[in-house]
Amino acid sequence: MMAVTMIERTVGDGKPYKVPKLHRIVWKTRTWAGSPSYLDENFPEMDAWCEKNCQHPYYHGPAWQHDCFIEFECDQDATMFALRWL
């Protein structure tokens, strides 16, 4: 069974909302910010793996950031990605 850890957050109206806790996995740190074409040769393969294996949403970090990362809503998806790619 897949587990999504929920946390409570409040917004402007003060009501608490349950949202998924995101698990960030940094898979590459660059010394410079590059364009998306210079992300990494493994990126297409990683993305295809996530598309095939993840049961819940995941989010790629923007290409221009110093750290290349993926955030997962599902605890198990994050664990399986880390075991496969790190």
Give the separation between CA 59 and CA 40, rounded to whole angstroms: 17
User: β-strands 6-10, 23-29: how paired?
Assistant: unpaired
Distance CA 23, CA 71 (A): 5
Query: Confidence band (pLDDT; 50, 70, 90) for 70?
Result: very high
**Is 5 a domain residue?**
no
Residue 4 lies in a domain: no
> Are 82 and 26 contacting, i.e. CB atoms less than 8 angstroms apart?
no
Question: Looking at the 3D structure of the chain, how many domains does it have?
Answer: 1
pLDDT of 54 higher than 80: yes
**pLDDT band for position 32 (cuts 50, 70, 90):** low
The range of the structural domain enclosing residue 48 comes to 22-85
Q: Is the separation of the CB atoms in 59 and 22 below 8 Å?
A: yes
- Residue 14 counted as domain residue: no
For tokens 């393969």, the residue is 45
In a domain, 35, yes or no: yes
Q: Is residue 11 part of a domain?
A: no
- Is residue 1, in this structure, part of any structural domain at all? no
- Of all residues in the chain, what percent carry a pLDDT higher than 90? 49
